[in-house]
Structure 1
Amino acid sequence: MRIYPCLFFMLQGLVPSSITVIVCWGFLLIEALLLVEINVGLRRKKGKIEEENELDIISIRTMAQETLGEWGGILATATYVFLGYTSMVAYSSKSGEILFHLINFPASISGFFFTALFTILISIGGTRGTDQVNQWLTASMLCLLLAIEVLGVVLGGWSGLEGSGDWGKVPATIPVIIFSLVYHDLAPVICAYLGSDLTRIRASVLLGSLVPLVALLLWDAIALGLSSQADQAVDPVELLMSVNWSGVSFMVDAFSLLAIGTSLIGTLLSFSQFFKEQLDNLSWNSPSTQILPQKPGELFGLRKWWGRNKNSFTAMAMVVAPTLLVSTTIPDAFSAATDIAGGYCMTMLYGVLPPAMAWAMHNRECEDTNQKALSRARPALLGLGLFACGIVMEQIYQDLSLLHP
């Protein structure tokens, strides 16, 4: 599972309230479990069976269309596509900045090659090969994070989890908290990867979400401790980097790069699978799509191979090409992209839509035993939806305040 604990707080110098982090984590965990229930329910209804080397994904668009109708599918598609591109631009842009700091190579070119590297990994290695690489990268990232946090404690940066943050700044941190903790775009992939086994899927979601939560809380305690030692408000990352040892700067940059890499893998995999599902549907509905007979020795079977994989490569190109175009022409897109993705796209897609989809599924399939439990949870579904709408409205207010100070 994709995890990128405290990366975006470290990169933007934010110190969120621990209570705010826990509330957002609980909110997002419930939303993720709702998505899992809806996805698995639709998979079982459609009788999805996984092939050995290829996942059959039910995307967020299909989930919305099956439960909320055509307009729900259009809304989910537009929001998901915008979210996917803003997230990819953020990762590509920031990776270029970090590589420029590490190896002094132009940021736009560095970001291009960094994104291309993971594109090749997913295209050639497939889901299972990519998962193995991602596990290794995640383990390395967590080791570096632990070393950085231990170093922060040694330097005196520990105030405990109670902290004394400025509650007036909480709204500004919510989009970044959501952007850091959201893993919901991987829910359809996980449901397919684990064979619709609800027990394993729920455990994966819960355990995977605990890692970034703990890391964020530790970063809170360390950052508040470091900031309390300064005479004025200072970015806690700058305090760490100011230590007279070059290894600290390298550790922070390496951790940031690994965190972006694991994040990019998850987004690139799920986003390309989304486009592949749409292309597969078009292929099945097209009367001209037929497998032509393979001539003996024709291009060593390349025609047959391309016919089997063209949708996957086309979907990957649809994700990567616009991303690289924007990230190379607008190198400072990271902060704006994270605010848009976390404050609007993710909150709408993974905050407002899941309760609405669960409510609609209950109304349409109330005779299903598995769905009857939702009737007792209707107040909770309504509360989740209103909470998500409140976050969106607050973000609109914050943005309007910036335009008219």
Structure 2
Amino acid sequence: MDSLLLTNIYYIIFCPDVHNYLGNLSYNMVEIISTKTNLLDGCSQRVIGAVNGFLVFSIIASFTLLVVVASGNIQWSSLLETNFAAAPQSIPIIALSFVYQNVVPVLCTNLEGDLSKVRKAIVLGTAIPLALFLVWDAVILGTIPGFAESGAITDPLQQLRSSNGTVGPIVEAFSFLAIGTSYIGFVLGLTDFIADLLKLPSGQNKPLTYLVTLFPPLVLSLLDPEIFFKALDFAGTYGVLVLFGVFPAAMSWSERYSNDLEAPISPIVPGGKLTLSFVMGGALLVIFSEVFKDIMQLQGLH
């Protein structure tokens, strides 16, 4: 029963995520999506890895160029301004931005279960995007000072584009590459999960798994491509924080401290009850605060 519940939650959560990337990509480049989908369906893991590696390298190159061009007018004093009241609203997007757990099974298979290589891949794969996020936030906050104090709802990226004509094409290239690599990761993770669920043989092309993975979100993205950010907020708050915040900590607690179960190996991740309580408590706090906010917004509509 528990496995069935988790299976349904996993699929329900990652379908909106795949829809996000399909919708945002198809908004600008529908034909390239079809090419990428066919690539995933027809190519081996080695080819897909090479393509993804090229895209990652292109992301770093375009990001570096973007930062160099956009940072010419940074006002460093703006980086000292704070607004901690707005920070909790960013947690769902931050949680979704750093989701990689769905790719870990594929990663472990490709690295043949080598624990040191898996750890290195996870640490570097988290540290590099974190550094990119921090640099980009510094550029945005330093280049467009005072837009938060103006009281108007402003898209800082759009304002940056309008102030510098060179930024626009670079942003488009970087956005497409970033979404493309995320798309590949989510599709590989979800198709691998569906293949295990359907007990299909490994190492073979699985058109059925790609159909189950891509068709529902493709239909959603064609019906409403504007739902991208709403789906991101939903998946980050109610999806990622439940599936990768509450459940893993609860399962670790059960395996480590239940009298009915014995861990087959010693824990490879440090942290006891305090750490697990912090993870579960933090995730639940964000979830319930978002539920309360959504209820208040619904009441305001009536």
TM-score (norm 2): 0.89
Which residue of structure 2 lines up, in the alignment, with residue 397 of structure 1? 292
**Contact 2:144–2:160 at 8 Å: present in 1 too?**
no
Q: 1:123 aligns with which of 27, 32, 41?
A: 41
Task: Please say which of residues 344-353 and 229-238 is displaced more in the overlay.
Answer: 229-238
Q: Distance in 2 between matches of 1:373 and 1:82?
A: 28
> Is residue 2:107 matched to residue 1:213?
no
* Residues 212 and 159 (structure 1), Cα distance of their counterparts in 2 relative to 1, 3 Å cut: farther
Q: Distance in 1 between matches of 2:75 and 2:34?
A: 38
Q: Distance in 2 between matches of 1:87 and 1:388?
A: 19
Give CA-to-partner distance per residue, 1:4-29, whole Å, 9 cap, x none: xxxxxxxxxxxxxxxxxxxxxxxxxx
* Residues 372 and 221 (structure 1), Cα distance of their counterparts in 2 relative to 1, 3 Å cut: closer
Which residue of structure 2 lines up, in the alignment, with residue 324 of structure 1? 218
Q: Distance in 2 between matches of 1:242 and 1:401?
A: 36
Q: 1:256 aligns with which of 175, 181, 193?
A: 175
* Residues 263 and 236 (structure 1), Cα distance of their counterparts in 2 relative to 1, 3 Å cut: same
Q: Distance in 1 between matches of 2:37 and 2:242?
A: 27
Flag the structure with larger Rg.
1
Which residue of structure 2 lines up, in the alignment, with residue 22 of structure 1? none
> Is residue 2:196 matched to residue 1:277?
yes
For residue 228 of structure 1, give the secondary structure of its aligned residue in structure 2. Answer: coil
> Is residue 2:229 matched to residue 1:335?
yes
Which residue of structure 1 lines up, in the alignment, with residue 139 of structure 2? 222
* Residues 399 and 214 (structure 1), Cα distance of their counterparts in 2 relative to 1, 3 Å cut: same
CA apart distance, 1:366:
3.5
* Residues 238 and 158 (structure 1), Cα distance of their counterparts in 2 relative to 1, 3 Å cut: farther
Regions of 4+ moved over 6 Å? none
What runs of 5+ residues in structure 2 fail to find an aligned partner? none
* Residues 153 and 118 (structure 1), Cα distance of their counterparts in 2 relative to 1, 3 Å cut: same
For residue 225 of structure 2, give the secondary structure of its aligned residue in structure 1. Answer: coil
* Residues 240 and 361 (structure 1), Cα distance of their counterparts in 2 relative to 1, 3 Å cut: same
* Residues 224 and 96 (structure 1), Cα distance of their counterparts in 2 relative to 1, 3 Å cut: same
**Contact 2:249–2:279 at 8 Å: present in 1 too?**
yes
Match for 1:121: what amino acid? L
Which residue of structure 1 lines up, in the alignment, with residue 113 of structure 2? 196
TM-score (norm 1): 0.68
**Contact 1:79–1:348 at 8 Å: present in 2 too?**
no
Which residue of structure 2 lines up, in the alignment, with residue 94 of structure 1? 24
**Contact 1:159–1:222 at 8 Å: present in 2 too?**
no
Superposed, 1:294-373 pairs within 5 Å as: 309=204, 312-362=206-256, 363=258, 365-366=261-262, 368=264, 370-371=266-267
Q: Distance in 2 between matches of 1:400 and 1:114?
A: 39
What runs of 5+ residues in structure 1 fail to find an aligned partner? 1-69, 100-109, 284-307
> Is residue 2:172 matched to residue 1:242?
no
Q: Distance in 1 between matches of 2:51 and 2:157?
A: 28
